[in-house]
Structures are given as structure tokens and as C-alpha cells.
């Protein structure tokens, strides 16, 4: 009996210790979702009349490349960034630029577990740096499972409204890795997000390194005026209305 | 003497290159939205349209994509 109790204590202490030390690096790839491509070619394309727009959309959907990005995390916070630093002001393939922007662009996505918050540093869109602060998303958890890279993942869903459009999001998270982080702004689940799909794009983990040899250091972005998501949306709308 | 002239030439070429780059680097949304006439104005209008289409395909806001299209258009109208 004594031995069993001793073993149990040892196990609890070890697991608690390993959790406080948990760090990791996740490599993701992202691209336009097959659902998006299928939907465009089977339905939407037939409704379009503007030939220039059809050529533009065809090109964007058929020539889009996969974009690599990385999430670094500790138990308490994480940062997500796109790997390629092709700046918006560089000359280059415009289709690739669109994909880079959609995957997160030059933004830094800082996620904090204790505050349940996401802070996006955006220095491009409005011509100066902002730190856009919002809370983690709220999800519907399901019992549906699948294995990703050997990890048992659970399905969670949520719905977001953007410009009167409904965006359905499905995420696959792994409770075995107890951090509430994920790619871009897909976080707030009781486990690391290894795959996400919405109406437009997907993010998929291609490599996961837990407790890497090199220490994971999360540098919280500080440069920029702190605003709420609502405040930022308002400023963005005002700027857009001035572009004529 | 030859070396000095060569060094000066290199400095001159480098500085002119840096200057032309800096002009684009300084470009931001506040200046761009005021450009609504001439070729730059055409860029504003076409980039707005493309940014809307890009958002329809990729998700997000048109504003996220606008500057990339504007810069792309701006380069294309610059003399070589």
C-alpha cells in the first residue's frame, strides 16, 4: 500500500514537473482548401459575369502554393509567424504574396494562456504598427477523433461572422499536448491545434518537436498602439472607405 | 587615383539605389489613398477591386490585401 502511494506521488510530481517544462515547435503548411476550390468551380464561377474577375480567381485558386509557418510555444504563451519574410513592398509573385498574407503575412500572433488572449502585431495594413488584442475563440467540442502525426486529436467547431458572411471553422486539437495554442488566431482549445479548416483555407501540422534541445524563447511583440479588435475593425473600415 | 574614382562610383550607384528603394519603403496607406488621379489613381481603383476579389477567395478583409496589389501596380507603371 505504502509503495503504491509512493509511486502515485512520484508519478504526479513527475508529470507536474514535465508540464511546467513543456515547450515545443510546430511547423504548419497552409493553402486554399479543396472545399473552396470545388465550391468555386462547381457553383460560384458559373454565376460570375466579369471575365477579368474569372481569370483573376482562376489564377489565384489554381496557382496557389503552400505556405510554411511556425508556432513556438511554452506552457504559458506562444507565437505564430509565417516563415517567409517576403515583405509587401518587395517585388515578386503577387499570387504568392496573397497566399502569404492569408497565412498571416508579416503579422506576429502572440497567444497567452493565463490571459486567454491573442495579440496580433500588424505593422502593414494601416501604415503603422498596431497590437490588436482579443480573447481566444469559443468552441463547440465534439467526441469525433482522428490521428494526426500519431497523436489522437478531437474535433471542435465554431462559427465566425465576417462582413455578414458566416465562416465555419473546424479544428483538430490534441489534449495529450495540454496547451491552448494553434496556428494564426485558432486557439483556446484544451490541447494543441494540429489542423484547422475554414471556408477558405486549411492549416496542417507537418512537424512537431516537443521540448527541443534549443530553449524556446517567446518574444512578446511590444511595438505598436494597443487596440481592441473592434477598434481596429473600425479604423480599417474607415481607411477602406477612403480608397476610391 | 583610379581606385578612388571607382570607390566614388560605387558609393554613387549604391546611394541612388537606396534612394529609389526608400521611396517605395516609405509608401504607406495614408499616401496611397490620396492618390486618386493619373496612373497612380488607376492603381488605386484596380487594386481596390483585386483586393476585394482576393478577400473573397482567401478570407479576411480586402484591406489586408490592398497594399500588396497597389505596390505591384505601382512598380508596373514605373519607367524601367
Q: Check residue B39 and give its pLDDT.
A: 65
Q: Check residue A121 and give its pLDDT.
A: 97
Nearest residue, CB atoms, A200 vs list B50, B58, B72: B58
- Cβ contacts of A99 on chain B, cutoff 8 Å: 58
Q: Which residue has the cell 511590444?
A: A222
Nearest residue, CB atoms, B44 vs list A163, A236, A243: A243
Q: Check residue A6 and give its pLDDT.
A: 54
List chain A residues with pLDDT less than 50. 9-19
Grid cell in block for residue A68: 510554411
- Cβ contacts of B62 on chain A, cutoff 8 Å: 240
| Residue A130 β-bridge partners | A122, A225
Rounded (10°) angle between helices B62-76 and B2-26: 140
Q: Check residue A14 and give its pLDDT.
A: 45
Extents of the domains making up chain B: 2-76
Tally C-beta pairs within 8 A across A and B: 87
Contact A53 B27 (CB under 8 A): no
- Torsion sign over Cα A228, A231, A232, A233: positive
| pLDDT over 50 at B4, yes or no | yes
Q: Check residue B2 and give its pLDDT.
A: 57
Q: Which residue has the cell 477567395?
A: B57
Q: What is the mean pLDDT of chain B?
A: 68
Query: Averaged over B54-64, what is the pLDDT?
Result: 89
Tell me, yes or no, if A169 comes closer than 8 A to chain B by beta carbon. no
Q: How far apart are CA A101 and CA B59, in angstroms?
A: 10
Q: Check residue B11 and give its pLDDT.
A: 44
Question: Does residue B3 or residue B78 have the better pLDDT?
Answer: B78
Rounded (10°) angle between helices A94-102 and B62-76: 160
Q: How far apart are CA A1 and CA A226, in angstroms?
A: 56
Question: What residue of B is the nearest CA neighbor of A61?
Answer: B57
Contact A162 B59 (CB under 8 A): yes
Tell me, yes or no, if B63 comes closer than 8 A to chain A by beta carbon. yes
Q: Check residue A17 and give its pLDDT.
A: 44
- Cβ contacts of A236 on chain B, cutoff 8 Å: 61, 63
- Cβ contacts of B42 on chain A, cutoff 8 Å: none
pTM for this predicted structure: 0.81
Mutation for testing the A interface, residue in B42, B50, B59 having most A CBs under 10 Å = B59
Q: Check residue A127 and give its pLDDT.
A: 85
Q: Check residue B30 and give its pLDDT.
A: 61
Question: Does residue B19 or residue A22 have the better pLDDT?
Answer: A22
Are A29 and A213 contacting, i.e. CB atoms less than 8 angstroms apart? no
Grid cell in block for residue A59: 489564377
Q: Check residue B74 and give its pLDDT.
A: 81
Q: How far is A200 from chain B (nearest CA, A)?
A: 5
Extents of the domains making up chain A: 23-242
- A69-95 pLDDT, tens digit each: 999 999 999 999 999 886 656 677 888
Question: What residue of B is the nearest CA neighbor of A106?
Answer: B64
Q: How far apart are CA B1 and CA A140, in angstroms?
A: 76
Contact B33 A236 (CB under 8 A): no
% residues pLDDT > 70 (chain B): 46
Report the complex ipTM: 0.80
Amino acid at each position: 500500500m505504502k509503495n503504491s502511494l509512493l509511486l502515485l506521488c512520484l508519478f504526479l510530481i513527475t508529470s507536474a514537473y514535465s508540464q511546467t517544462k513543456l515547450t515545443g515547435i510546430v511547423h504548419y503548411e497552409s493553402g486554399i482548401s479543396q472545399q473552396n476550390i470545388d465550391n468555386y468551380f462547381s457553383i460560384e464561377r458559373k454565376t460570375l459575369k466579369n471575365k477579368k474577375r474569372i481569370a483573376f480567381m482562376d489564377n489565384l485558386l489554381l496557382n496557389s502554393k503552400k505556405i510554411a509557418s511556425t508556432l513556438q510555444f511554452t506552457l504559458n504563451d506562444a507565437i505564430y509567424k509565417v516563415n517567409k519574410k517576403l515583405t509587401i513592398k518587395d517585388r515578386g509573385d503577387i499570387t504568392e504574396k496573397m497566399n502569404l498574407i492569408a497565412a498571416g503575412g508579416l503579422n506576429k500572433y502572440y497567444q497567452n494562456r493565463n490571459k486567454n488572449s491573442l495579440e496580433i502585431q500588424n505593422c502593414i495594413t494601416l501604415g503603422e504598427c498596431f497590437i490588436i488584442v482579443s480573447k481566444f475563440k469559443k468552441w463547440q467540442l465534439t467526441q469525433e477523433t482522428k490521428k494526426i502525426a500519431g497523436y489522437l486529436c478531437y474535433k471542435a467547431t465554431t462559427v465566425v461572422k465576417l462582413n455578414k458572411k458566416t465562416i465555419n471553422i473546424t479544428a483538430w486539437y490534441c489534449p495529450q499536448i495540454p496547451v491552448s495554442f494553434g496556428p494564426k488566431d485558432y486557439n483556446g482549445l484544451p490541447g494543441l491545434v494540429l489542423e484547422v479548416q475554414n471556408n477558405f483555407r486549411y492549416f496542417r501540422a507537418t512537424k512537431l518537436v516537443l521540448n527541443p534541445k534549443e530553449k524556446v524563447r517567446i518574444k512578446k511583440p511590444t511595438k505598436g498602439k494597443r487596440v481592441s479588435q473592434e477598434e481596429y475593425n473600425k479604423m480599417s473600415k474607415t481607411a477602406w472607405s477612403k480608397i476610391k | 587615383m583610379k581606385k578612388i574614382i571607382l570607390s566614388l562610383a560605387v558609393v554613387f550607384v549604391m546611394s541612388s539605389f537606396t534612394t529609389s528603394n526608400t521611396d517605395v519603403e516609405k509608401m504607406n496607406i495614408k499616401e496611397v489613398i490620396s492618390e486618386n488621379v493619373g496612373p497612380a489613381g488607376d492603381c488605386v481603383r484596380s487594386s481596390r477591386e483585386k483586393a476585394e476579389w482576393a478577400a473573397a477567395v482567401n478570407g479576411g478583409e480586402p484591406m489586408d490585401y490592398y497594399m500588396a496589389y497597389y505596390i505591384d501596380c505601382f512598380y508596373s507603371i514605373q519607367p524601367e
